Amino acid sequence: MPRSLKRKPSPPSTPSSFKAPNRTGGAAVDESNPYPGFPNPTLEECQAVRDDLLGLHGFPKDFLKYRKQRLLLNQNLPDLNQSLSNSEQLNEEEGGDDDGCGQESVLDGLVGAILSQNTTEVNARRAFTSLKSSFPTWDDVHAAEPKLVENAIKCAGLAPSKTSCVKGILSCLLEKKGKLCLEYLRDLSIEEIKRDLSCYSGVGPKTVACVLMFHLNQDDFPVDTHVFQIARTIGWVPAEANVKKTYLHLNQRIPNELKFDLNCLLYTHGKACRECSGKGSYKAEVDSNQQPCPLLKYVSSSK
């Protein structure tokens, strides 16, 4: 029987509550909030961008199965149908269910996120499918020669380093827990999960955030290249912000109930839109359907 999706409630997500002492003797610095005086994005801006992108793309089918899981938890997710026209109503009976693979385990999600690093979604999915076909259980992967694992995931690129990362995680997990399973993370708080996963070599903040949002149904906001570029383009972070500070700032500013939908939509839009991805001028149009980018109005207002 599949494990229940119920999880331990956690307080509103903040990347960290740690406050480092000021070396100059001043007040403590909240490292989870790098831009406390920067007002964007507001709640209204988050809602407007969500609605604009829904109207352009609809809700991405690749992420529907994860949204269903969150709905099963009775989380306070917005009704997307209110933001779509009658011809674009969200049909959660179509596409994106589970591709016949059943519910993914947390360990499946972590390895899938590792395979997706520095490659396309298509190649990452192919690599994961190949890995599971070649080695039906994680014990099989752990026991396999590294070269065999590399051959199974080579289409995702960086096969030697990704193999080393995956096998290292499996070895550490077996040593710590006695079995290859990460389901215990479902009972931990966001901060506890971050501390646990960050101990593994090759597992960075974005990978942890993806596991939190997609596989542990927590309220977190991963920042990849697409989300980072759009956030800078529409003025949601200061011009000097880097990926780490963008992640910290957006997790502070974006309401928990909008994080999942907004993240999926920004990621999808960033892949389709040249101006938002930084690959074209702001006069370009969305390549996929030749409609003007709805975020252009935020670009002009942020300059």
Cite the active site residues: 206
Contacts of 139 (CB under 8 A, 6+ apart): 180
What is the Cα–Cα distance from 133 to 136, expressed in whole angstroms?
A: 6
What is the Cα–Cα distance from 128 to 288, expressed in whole angstroms?
A: 27
Amino acid (1-letter code) at residue 144: A
Count the alpha carbons within 13 Å of 83 in the hemisphere toward its beta carbon.
19
What is the Cα–Cα distance from 230 to 215, expressed in whole angstroms?
A: 24
Burial of 227 (0-12, 13-18, 19+ CB in 10 A): buried
Sign of the alpha-carbon dihedral angle for 299, 90, 211, 33: positive
Do 220 and 209 form a contact (C-beta atoms < 8 A)?
Answer: yes
Do 10 and 218 form a contact (C-beta atoms < 8 A)?
Answer: yes
